Every structure is written in C-alpha cells, then in structure tokens.
Amino acid sequence: MAKRSFNSNGNLGQEPEKAKISKESIREALSLFAYIKPFRGKFIWSMVFIALSAFSTMIFPFLLGKMIDAASPGSQMQMPQSGMGVAAMGFDLKTVQWSLNTILLLLFLQLSVQTIFSFMRIYLLTEVGEKSLANMRTDLYGKLLSQPMSFYSDQRVGDLSNRISSDLSQIQDAISFTLAEFLRGVFTLIFGLSFIFWISRELAFVMLSVVPIIAVVAVIFGMRIRKMSRKAQDQLAESGTIVQETFLGISIVKAFTSESYEMNRYKKSIYGVVATAISNARYRGAFVSLMIFSVFGTIAFVIWYGVGLIRSGELSTGYLTMFVIFSAFVGGTFAGFAEMFSQLQKTLGATQRVRELLRQNGEEIELGSNTNPIVHKIIGNVTFKEVAFSYPSRKDVQVLHNINLEVKNGEQVALVGPSGAGKSTIASLLLKFYEPSEGHIYYDGMDSQDFALTELRKQIGFVPQDVILFGGSIKENISYGKPGASDEEIMEAAKKANAHEFVARFPEGYETIVGERGIKLSGGQRQRIAIARAILKNPAILLLDEATSSLDSESEQLVQEALDNLMKGRTSFVIAHRLSTVRNADKIIVIDKGTVQEIGTHEELMVKEMGIYRKLVDLQLEWSSLEK
Ligand SMILES: Nc1ncnc2c1ncn2[C@@H]1O[C@H](COP(=O)(O)OP(=O)(O)O)[C@@H](O)[C@H]1O
Ligand SMILES: [Mg+2]
C-alpha cells in the first residue's frame, strides 16, 4: 500500500482519520460511487480482468505441479480422490497426463494471458480512478468556492484544504488500488480454497487448523504496530515543523544566537522518534519471528503430513507442491486483509467528510458561464432601512444596530469611526457576503434579497486594504475585473489607475509575473493594480475599505489620484482612516459601536463642538503636527 505521509506540496500531510465501519458510513461511501457511474463500462471490465487475472495466477502453480509429476511418472496418484462427474466422462484433471512440452506451452500461454489481464486491469482501473477523482475534486472545489463568507470565517482554510487533499488521495487509492486488492483477495481466496480442498480435503483441514491462531496473533500485533508507527510518524512531523519554523525565522534564530537552543530542540525531537521506533521494533521483531515460526512450522507440518499421503498413494509430489503454493497464496491473502481493513476504515472516514462538504448548501452563484446579461442594471441609489446585524459565528453580539442611510447615485460617502465600529461590516453587507439580521438594504429601491447574488456583485467594485493579487501576470490580474478585456482596455484602465507608468518600466511590461500573492510589487503598486481592476469592471457602486491606509504618503498621493478617477460618476463608499482623504465627500457618516452617530459634510460636522467627527479630526491634526 502506498503510504502517503507527504502530500503534493511536500508538506507532511495528516493521515486520514478512520471511521467506524457501519451501515451509515458504508452507505455514505457507496453514494460516492455515483462518480464512477460515467465510467461504469470500463469499471466493470476492470473488475472482470481482476477476476480473470486472479484465476489465471492460480493456474500457474497447478501447471507447475503437473510439470513435476510429468518429470517423475512414478509418483502418479493411483486413484482419484473424488469421483467427479468429469472423471466419469473420461477426463479428470487430477489424473490427466500431459507431456512436459505441452505443459511448458500451457505455462507460457497462461503467462501471456496473465500479462494482458494484469495490464488491462491496471490501465482501466487507473483511468476510472483518475477521471472520477478529477470530477470529485472539481465538484468539491466548486462547492468550496460557493460557500458563503461565514463558512470561511469558521474554518481554518489551510487546514480544510489539506484535509480534503488527503481525503481525496485516500479515496483515489481506494478506487484504483485497495478495491482491486480486495477483489483480487476475495477471488484468490475462493479459487485458492477450492483448489486446496480439491487437491486434498484432509490436508486442507490440517493446514486451515493453524490459520485462526495466526490470524489472531497477526491482528493483535498488527494493531499495536500500526499505533506505534503512527506515533513515530507524528513525531517525525513534529521535528519537521521545527525545521520549517527555524528556517522561516532564520533571521531571528541568528540574531538571538539561538542556534544551539534550536539544535537541542531538534535533537530531542529526533531522539523521541528513535525511541518510538526502537520500541516498535520490539513488537515488529517478535511478530515477524513468530510469523516465520508459525508459517514455516505449518509448511513443515503440512509437508510431513502430505508425504504420508504420498506414501499411501493418495497424493502425488506435484499435487503436494501445488498445495503448498496455493496455501501460501491463501495465507498471504489473509494477511493482506488486515491492512485492507484499516484502509477501508480510513476511506470511510474520508468519504464521510467529502460527502459532508458536498452536501453543504452554497450560495447561489453562477459557475461556468459568466456572461449572462445583467437584468437589473443598478444606477447607484442605496438605502439602508433599520439594518441590524450580528455575525453568524457570534450571534449573541450585535455588531450593527438600526442603521438608516440614504445615498443618491453618484454620491461619495465616507464611513469613518474608530476601529471595530462596524465599517467593514457595512461593506460586507453591501456585497451581500451576509444578509442583514433585521431590516433591508435597497439598490435603486429594489430589496437586496430579490437580487441574484452574481448579478449584484457584478455591479459592485471592491478595493480592500490588503490587495490580494493572483500568481499570474499583471495583465491577468487587471483583467480579473472583466474577463476577456482587450489589451487597449487594460492599458486604459492602468493609465487611469496611475499604474501604467510603473508597469511600463518593467522589462516584461504587462506580462510581468507578480509572484505569489503579488509579493514582487510594493504595497502602493498592488493597490493601483487593484484600482485598475475596479476601473475595468466599471461598477455602479464602489467600495473602498481603507484602500490607502497602509501606504506611505508618496504612493498615497498617487493612489488617491487614481481613486478620485475611479470614483467619478459612481456611488462610492469610502472607508477611511485618514480623515484628510474624505474631506470632500458629499456625506460623511460617523459610525461608532455599530450605530450611525453623525451624518453631514465636513463643514457641517466640524461645527459641532462636541461632535465625534470633530474630535477625531482634532486628534489627527495633533498627531500630524507632532509628526512634523
Ligand atoms: N467574521 C466576523 N465574525 C465575527 N465577528 C466579526 C467578524 N468580523 C468582524 N467582527 C466584529 O464586528 C465588529 C465590527 O468589525 P468591523 O466591521 O471589521 O470594524 P471596522 O469598523 O474596524 O471595519 C468588531 O467588533 C469585530 O470584532
Ligand atoms: Mg475594517
């Protein structure tokens, strides 16, 4: 069995947890067979090939035995053991005599057929496994993409995707490996047991009397050993974490001269692994020697008994040989079932979690065609009517209380207030990341609940504080706002966003790869790419959530210019930390503790002696004068 302790990223992945084998869990697992359905023809063929190849494998020892008997004609069985029907017709496999050459020919025929069967079963099953898994992966990815925001704030996303990838590998293994092994095991048992009983019932009983004892020993030791190896694996993963940590923070390690501290930490962890491995070796050693003893003991005993049967003429040398080889097949299959059982448990655990995810209801977003025409074109009037909100993950805490807002199209609205006041939450509600707990939001008089999600979001532009760029080129990142945009459109947007100049200075221009999450660009550059993205999207409503607060004053100016370009002629909600940037807003809304405290223009609000806005402005003025 291919142990997957490393996932595709090379990180130590978690072992899939096991699940109890129950009716429920098996039903869950079987429901995933729907993914095999499109390939059922090939799947059934591969099962047939597995059966054929198991049977064909069994022919080999049979022919081998025949060959031995052909070489020593003296040791022929004198009488067939059972008067089978075929014997009455003058043909009994047990007594039929073939020439040595015929047997060799049959052997090669068997081997050729065997190769074809084996090739076909591996090829077909891999195709079925890979293709059905690809569909499963795609469905899961789509499911995850369509989950609402609340799903992502509840889950640790990295954890989740790690778990899913190991769950899917487990399922894939099950389809293209464990299932085949299991079927082969079952066929081998059926054929093998029939063969050995056919050869000699007496000897078969002698042999099988030992099996239960071996099986019990194997199960007891097997459990213990597996537990210990899992512990060793976990410990190894832990030491891997130490290595990762220290190299990620190598500058800290060096600056604090804690090399020897880390060295000791690592050593301790590694010796923990060694201790576990050694104590595991005791069990493994005992188990293996016991196994060798009982297996070879059984063989010796069976041969001893079988020789007695040969002497009395009930068996030939060839058939005794066949018997021993068949017994080995059967024994090996039994041993394999223990591992398969544990794999089955893991697979059931994996399928349970995958099914759980597939069952989750997502948002109603359009996947696939992104070109549906917009039915309700928004002009940009936005109304909040008695909106209250608490996050689904913390229902007892109301974050917004009774918010009433009236925004005309084309207006620039600034949302200001201390951090934690609920400004970003308002932006999330506008994007329909969440539904208001009470009250309604209207776009041009139409209730947000009546809008299709995709349609609404298509008409809203969003520039967050931390711009996330995707790993591709600058061009790709800008055209994210309008898939299929022409080069001219992209460049036009970049110019308006004050981004064209710095992009043009890169040797590869718009084809420059920005690096994972855009690390190759500065904060201000990333911000301007995001603005170009929003310009290209040309939304009716614009949300800027502290889009300039993490920038230095020079790039802030460039970004601010770009933003002013962007806001022209559209309804804009600007969440701003630096109040100087929103002085010209048509409306300044002061939010504190989830309620609207003040609404007005800069001048109107500055008049209020005891007003919050005035206090905030005075505070910032003091700070900036201190800075100078
Ligand atoms: N995903 C979330 N789940 C639960 N509570 C949240 C979540 N996001 C924000 N909050 C809480 O909501 C309140 C308002 O947050 P936010 O709207 O981000 O404030 P800000 O005005 O600084 O943007 C805060 O008390 C915050 O702790
Ligand atoms: Mg915020």
Name the closest-CA residue to atom 6, ligand 1. Answer: 391
- Span of 14-28, 180-194, 323-337 with lowest mean pLDDT: 14-28
Ligand 1: residues with CB < 6 A are 153, 391, 393-394, 399, 419-425
CA of 573 to the centre of ligand 2 (A): 13
Structural domain includes residue 592: yes
Q: What is the pLDDT averaged over residues 243-271?
A: 90
Number of domains the chain contains: 2
Domain shared by 445 and 394, yes or no: yes
Structural domain includes residue 380: yes
Q: Which atom of ligand 1 is nearest to the CA of 421?
A: 21
Domain shared by 156 and 99, yes or no: yes
Q: Which atom of ligand 1 is nearest to the CA of 415?
A: 21
607, two tokens: 């008049």
Is residue 405 over pLDDT 60? Answer: yes
Helix, strand, or coil here: 36? coil
**Ligand 2 being an ion, which residues bring their Cβ within 5 A of it?**
424
Domain shared by 352 and 438, yes or no: no
- Of 308, 334, 360, the domain-final residue: 360
Name the closest-CA residue to atom 27, ligand 1. Answer: 420
Ligand nearest to the CA of 418: 1
Q: Which residues contact 33 (CB under 8 A, 6 or more apart)?
A: none
Q: CB atoms < 10 A from the CB of 468, how many?
A: 10
pLDDT in tens, 215-238: 788 778 878 887 888 788 888 888
User: What pLDDT score was predicted for residue 575?
Assistant: 93
CA of 578 to the centre of ligand 2 (A): 13
User: What pLDDT score was predicted for residue 293?
Assistant: 87
Q: CB atoms < 10 A from the CB of 292, how many?
A: 10
Contact 599, 590 (CB under 8 A): yes
Q: CB atoms < 10 A from the CB of 21, how many?
A: 13
Sheet holding 541-545, edge to edge: 460-463, 541-545, 571-575, 412-416, 587-592, 595-600
Query: Which of the residue ranges 172-176, 498-502, 519-523 has the most confident prediction, judged by mean pLDDT?
Result: 498-502
Is residue 49 over pLDDT 60? Answer: yes
Ligand nearest to the CA of 419: 1
In the DSSP assignment, the letter for residue 22 is -
Is residue 334 over pLDDT 60? Answer: yes
Q: Which atom of ligand 1 is nearest to the CA of 575?
A: 23
- Of 338, 360, 382, the domain-final residue: 360
Ligand nearest to the CA of 464: 2
Domain shared by 354 and 426, yes or no: no
User: What pLDDT score was predicted for residue 222?
Assistant: 79
User: What pLDDT score was predicted for residue 16?
Assistant: 59
Q: Which of 154, 155, 401, 424 to mutate to test the pocket of ligand 1 (most atoms within 8 A of CB)?
A: 424
CATH for 602: 3.40.50.300
CATH for 184: 1.20.1560.10
Average pLDDT over the chain, rounded to an integer: 84
Residue identified by tokens 């962007």 is 566
Q: What is the dihedral sign for C-alpha 49, 54, 55, 61?
A: positive
Cα 333 to chain center, whole Å? 32
Structural domain includes residue 452: yes
CA–CA distance, 97 with 72 (Å, rounded to integer): 12
Domain shared by 142 and 191, yes or no: yes
| Host H or E run for residue 405 | strand 400-407
Ligand nearest to the CA of 594: 1
Which spans in 83-200 are helix H? 85-88, 100-145, 149-154, 157-173, 179-199
Name the closest-CA residue to atom 8, ligand 1. Answer: 425
Is residue 140 over pLDDT 80? Answer: yes
Range of the domain at 191: 16-83+90-199+348-360
Is residue 45 over pLDDT 50? Answer: yes
Domain shared by 352 and 415, yes or no: no
Q: Classify strands 438-443 and 382-389 as parallel, antiparallel or unpaired.
A: antiparallel
Name the closest-CA residue to atom 3, ligand 1. Answer: 391
Q: What is the pLDDT averaged over residues 411-417?
A: 93
CA–CA distance, 370 with 511 (Å, rounded to integer): 24
CA of 545 to the centre of ligand 1 (A): 13
Of 112, 125, 115, 109, the C-alpha closest to 48 is 125
CA of 419 to the centre of ligand 2 (A): 6
Q: Which residues contact 158 (CB under 8 A, 6 or more apart)?
A: none
Domain shared by 356 and 380, yes or no: no
Q: Which residues contact 173 (CB under 8 A, 6 or more apart)?
A: 1, 2, 4, 343, 347
Domain shared by 79 and 153, yes or no: yes
Considering the chain, what percentage of its residues have pLDDT values greater than 90?
36
Q: What is the dihedral sign for C-alpha 551, 552, 555, 558?
A: positive
The length of the chain, given as a count of residues: 628
User: What pLDDT score was predicted for residue 206?
Assistant: 86
Is residue 412 over pLDDT 90? Answer: yes
Name the closest-CA residue to atom 25, ligand 1. Answer: 420
Of 470, 478, 467, the C-alpha closest to 503 is 478
Give the angle subtended at the CA of 95 by the CAs of 93 and 96, to the nearest 5°.
Answer: 65
Contact 55, 191 (CB under 8 A): yes
- Of 360, 390, 411, the domain-final residue: 360
Domain shared by 355 and 413, yes or no: no
Helix, strand, or coil here: 592? strand
What DSSP string describes 292-338? HHHHHHHHHHHHHHHHHHHHTTS--HHHHHHHHHHHHHHHHHHHHHH
CA–CA distance, 174 with 341 (Å, rounded to integer): 11
Structural domain includes residue 168: yes
User: What pLDDT score was predicted for residue 80?
Assistant: 44
- Span of 152-156, 212-216, 367-371 with lowest mean pLDDT: 367-371
Q: CB atoms < 10 A from the CB of 321, how many?
A: 20
